[in-house]
Amino acid sequence: MDGTTPRTVTLHGDALDYFDVGSGPPVVFVHGLLGSHRTWAHLLSALGADHRVVAPDLVGHGGSAKPRGDYSLGAHAATLRDLLDQLGLDRVILVGHSLGGGIALQFAYLFPTRVQRLVLVSSGGLGRELSLLLRAATLPGAEWVLPLLASSWARGRVEAVGRGVGRLLGRVGMRPGSDLTEAWRGFVSLGDADSRRAFLASSRAVIDPGGQTVTARPHLHRLATVPTLLVWGARDRVIPSMHAARAAEAIPGSRVEIFERAGHFPHLDDPDRFLRVLRDFMA
């Protein structure tokens, strides 16, 4: 498979899009809130030469179905298990970013024999602290405000402002980072009612106005038998990098890599280094 066309499987009546490329030891990538498989696109071909790489669109995201239903971490983890069953994959190297990190942690607790190695990238579920923007999405009335913000008129105004900010940064020798690019992509994805409903359900399953509501910290000691890598951007304004240090103290034998010039998407801000670190850890 060339990695440009997704496959689709129906699980419990809902369509799930996923990419499945290469052959060798299986690596499964789980994206974050408002994301899709695209956040891992640069790794599909890079790792596909000597690994089997699977990258699904979570339910409620990307090309997958956006049903009314359960968007908890446990539900996402169970869907991931069902996908692996369909693909005949028993044990995998599991890589999760942001919300996907929280799902990866939940998967590791629920199905510990199926995780060979665990990679948490700017992961959720490791502390209460979270950006104000994501907390605002859980406020009462957000379901009425979000359609106005995501309207084509509003998106046009935001895009114009974004172009102006990009030109200003260019004049002073800077470029917009991955955080801004990925935030815009996520914002654009909320153009239809089903996507907005799924976003709010996913957010409210793990966030309240005070921050993250689901924490794995009391259970991290259970990862003692799972080699674990934590990757974080020092400039992360969504989930602070101090969560990596806290988690490392609780996970025996874990390894931490801080990308000093990266934000919430270290795998995009410094893709070459991320690939090197990931390959080294998998080896």
| End-to-end Cα, the chain, rounded Å | 25
175: containing domain: 132-205
Task: Kindly report the pTM of this predicted structure.
Answer: 0.89
Burial 79-118 (b: 16+ CB within 10 A, else e): bbbebbeebebeebbbbbbbbbbbbbbbbbbebeebbbbb
Report the number of distinct structural domains present in the chain: 2
Same domain, 276 and 146: no
Angle at alpha carbon of residue 238, lines to 237 and 239, rounded to 5° = 100
pLDDT at 221 exceeding the cut of 60? yes
Q: Is residue 243 part of a domain?
A: yes
Considering 153, 171, 205, which residue would you say is the last residue of a domain?
205
| Residues 165, 99 share a domain | no
| 122: amino acid identity, one letter | S
User: Is residue 29 domain-shared with residue 112, that is, in the same domain?
Assistant: yes
Task: Supply the pLDDT for residue 155.
Answer: 46
Residue 1 lies in a domain: no
pLDDT at 4: 61
Residue 7, phi then psi, degrees to nearest 5:
-100, 165
pLDDT at 149: 57
Predicted pLDDT of residue 57: 98
Q: Are 119 and 94 in contact (CB under 8 A)?
A: yes
CATH number at residue 81: 3.40.50.1820
Q: What positions carry a catalytic annotation? A: 98, 236, 264
Q: Which of 186, 205, 224 is the last residue of a domain?
A: 205
Distance separating alpha carbons of residues 231 and 233, to the nearest angstrom: 7
Q: Does position 151 have pLDDT exceeding 70, yes or no?
A: no
